[in-house]
Structure 1
Amino acid sequence: MNKNEVLSAIVAALEADVEALRRAAQIAYEAATAEENKAENKYDTLGLEASYLATGQARRAAEIRQALLTYQQLVLRDYDPTRGIQISSLVTLEDEQGDQRRVFIGPEGAGLKIGHGPQQVTVITPRSPLGQVLIGKRLDDEVSLVVAGVAQVSAVVAVA
């Protein structure tokens, strides 16, 4: 999977997420405003809870829409060894056991997984611990990250 395919898959996943959240927010809004959910006493909070849910889902949908817009405007840059790894870099890391994983440094959408099996790519941002360590690194550099008190060392084996 190359960077263009990764970017297209991220945009498609975010579009699907926006639509799913839009539908969920609409359902929660309808539940919040339904006549049968009107409070009959001060302890009847079903309508209020549905309102909070609708608000939260609408806020999350707005965040995903913003991430989608950011990715739709993202310019993919070729890897420049003088600058090292930057936003839009597709990086392959290999740990000490020889296991490889691929990450895409994106501006938003951390944790999103694209593809399956050996083609799977995880989106990380420069704000994440791994992203902070990777920014500026170059091909064949080692990166070390302490997770749950254990140092994990990986080598940068490919950058696109």
Structure 2
Amino acid sequence: MNKQHFIEYLKFALEAKLQEAVQAANSAREDATHEQSAAETQYDSLSIESAYLAQGQSERVDDAHKAIKAFDSIYELCPSESIVIGSLVSCENEEGDIFWYFIGPTEGGLKLDIKNTVVWTITPASPLGKVLMNKKVHDEFEWTMHGATQEFEITKIL
């Protein structure tokens, strides 16, 4: 796995998420201000619901901008011997299955498929992030996946 290559995919995914949020916010704003959204009776709540949706979508746009800014600050961090924010980590279980994780400042749960390799973004606040933080190559840890506790070894930190 090439970390620089991963970062390019991540930047693209964050930009795509921002564009999706912008489009949704624009659409919700148009719906909220459309003449058919005007209340016809005191019980007609369509315009209020549309306004709330537009506000929520605008907050998604703000969150996407904040995420891009937060990630921009970690792209240039030098590799570390231990897992920190900005580390790209490979873990191997007892069966030889390899799992890749990127420790990000935000956007936990973001899944990237890079040349048939899945990389999950996790945060230090997540349960797995808490376990991984500050560990080093060859450190082992237990983790429950799919209802079964497995032993993992950290094989790479990029």
List gaps (5 residues or longer) in structure 1: none
Amino acid at match of 2:72: Q
Cα distance, 1:61–1:152 mapped onto 2, change above 3 Å: farther
CA distance in 2, matches of 1:146, 1:114: 22
How does 1:65-76 map onto structure 2 within 5 Å?
Answer: 65-74=65-74, 75-76=76-77
Query: Could you say what the CA RMSD is over the residues aligned between the two structures, in angstroms?
Result: 1.7
Q: 1:94, 1:157 within 8 Å by CA — same for their partners in 2? A: yes
CA distance in 2, matches of 1:152, 1:55: 43
Query: Does residue 44 in structure 1 map to residue 52 in structure 2?
Result: no
Cα distance, 1:122–1:149 mapped onto 2, change above 3 Å: closer
Q: 1:129, 1:145 within 8 Å by CA — same for their partners in 2? A: no
**Deviation of residue 146 (structure 1)?**
4.2
Give 3-state SS (helix, strand or coil) of 1:138's partner.
coil
Q: 2:79, 2:157 within 8 Å by CA — same for their partners in 1? A: no
**Deviation of residue 152 (structure 1)?**
3.4
How does 1:68-87 map onto structure 2 within 5 Å?
Answer: 68-74=68-74, 75-80=76-81, 84-87=82-85
CA distance in 1, matches of 2:12, 2:153: 30
Task: Name 1:113's counterpart in structure 2.
Answer: 111
CA distance in 1, matches of 2:115, 2:96: 16
Q: TM-score, normalised by structure 2?
A: 0.90
**Deviation of residue 130 (structure 1)?**
0.6
Q: 1:3, 1:76 within 8 Å by CA — same for their partners in 2? A: no
Task: Name 2:126's counterpart in structure 1.
Answer: 128
Amino acid at match of 2:104: G
CA distance in 1, matches of 2:55, 2:146: 35
List gaps (5 residues or longer) in structure 2: none
**Deviation of residue 103 (structure 1)?**
0.6
Amino acid at match of 2:35: E
Q: TM-score, normalised by structure 1?
A: 0.89
Give 3-state SS (helix, strand or coil) of 2:138's partner.
coil
How does 1:144-159 map onto structure 2 within 5 Å?
Answer: 144-146=142-144, 150-159=148-157
CA distance in 1, matches of 2:149, 2:4: 33
Q: Percent identity?
A: 38
Q: 1:92, 1:102 within 8 Å by CA — same for their partners in 2? A: yes
CA distance in 2, matches of 1:41, 1:148: 52
**How many corresponding residue pairs?**
157
